[in-house]
Copies of this chain bind each other. A is one copy, B any other.
Amino acid sequence: MSVRAKRVSATREQILVAAERLFAEHGLTVSNRQISEAAGQGNNFAVGYHFGTKTDLVRAIMHSHQEQIERHRLRMLGQVAESTDLRVWASCLVRPYTEHLAALGSPSWFARFAAQVATDPMLRAIMIDEALLRPSLLRVIEGLHACLPALPEEVRRERSDMARLLIEHVCAERERALAEGTGTPRATWDDTATGLIDALVGQWLAPVTNAPVMNA
């Protein structure tokens, strides 16, 4: 890599780190200008120059984390093979994310960033593209659903949506509590995963009061 290419790469990395942190701590209204400043760039247009729009920047942050989460997930998938144990599949859903967050060390910012992106009406498409449509994740959901043959299809779908929302937002709230030094119910990300898996298994196994009628 040339000296110039190395410098460009270091600048891009500084911008990604600054942006993720500002989004996590101040929200998605943070401007490209504020990010350029926080990244130590004299040029207020550094974000635009290196990434294009704010959407492109958000996608770059999301992509880099999801690649790492994917690696944890593929490793776990290699271990579970054709398991029919719901708890094993719930682990494959939860632990790739909590292991990634643990690996980031403390403080981390990604969980708060990701929860906001997933909730934003314009940016959520990025979450869908970069995270939710990954074949390895669809394989986990398939494995989960195979453990629940008696559950109506709509309820399986409903509870898998619930699982995704719960993992996203429980991790974001825990990350915030760690950053702010307020209490958290679990000492480690590993324990947090255990608590999530307990709750999700309970949720998936819960009796269904009314079989819903699909409203497509």
> Which chain A residues in 146-205 approach chain B with CB under 8 Å?
154-155, 157-159, 161-162, 165-166, 168-170, 172-173, 176, 183-187, 191, 194-195, 197-205
A170-B176 in contact given A27-B28, A186-B212, A214-B185 (Cβ < 8 Å): no
Q: Is A42 an interface residue (CB 8 A)?
A: no
Tell me the smallest distance from the CB of A161 to a CB of chain B, in Å. 7
B173 touches A165 (CB 8 A): yes
Query: How many A residues, CB 8 Å from partner?
Result: 56
In the assembled complex, A29 has its CB within 8 A of some CB on chain B? yes
- Which of A33-41, A64-72, A75-83, A112-120 has 4 or more CB atoms under 8 Å from chain B? A112-120
How far apart sit A54 and B36, CA to CA, in the bound complex (Å)? 24
Question: In chain B, what residue has the closest Cβ to A180?
Answer: B121
Contact of A123 with B173 in the complex, beta carbons under 8 Å? no
Q: Which of A169, A198, A199, A215 has the most CB of B within 10 A?
A: A199
Q: Is A207 an interface residue (CB 8 A)?
A: yes
Q: Which residues of B contact A170 (CB under 8 A)?
A: 161-162, 165
Contact of A198 among B24, B197, B208 (CB under 8 A): B208
Could you tell me if B165 and A169 are in contact, using CB atoms closer than 8 angstroms? yes
Q: Closest residue to A190 on the B side, CB-wise?
A: B210
Q: A interface, by DSSP: helix, strand, loop or mixed?
A: helix
Rounded to whole angstroms, the CA-CA distance of A185 and B198 in the bound complex is 24
- CB A213 to nearest CB in B, in angstroms, measures 5
Closest to A30 in B: B29
Residue of B nearest to A157 (CB): B185
Check if A2 is an interface residue, CB within 8 A of chain B: no
B residues less than 8 Å from A4 (CB atoms): none
A3: CB under 8 A from chain B? no
Q: Is A13 an interface residue (CB 8 A)?
A: no
**Other CB < 8 Å A-B pairs besides A187-B215, A198-B208, 13 of them?**
A26-B122, A29-B29, A112-B121, A119-B172, A154-B186, A168-B169, A184-B215, A185-B214, A194-B210, A197-B209, A198-B206, A199-B206, A203-B206
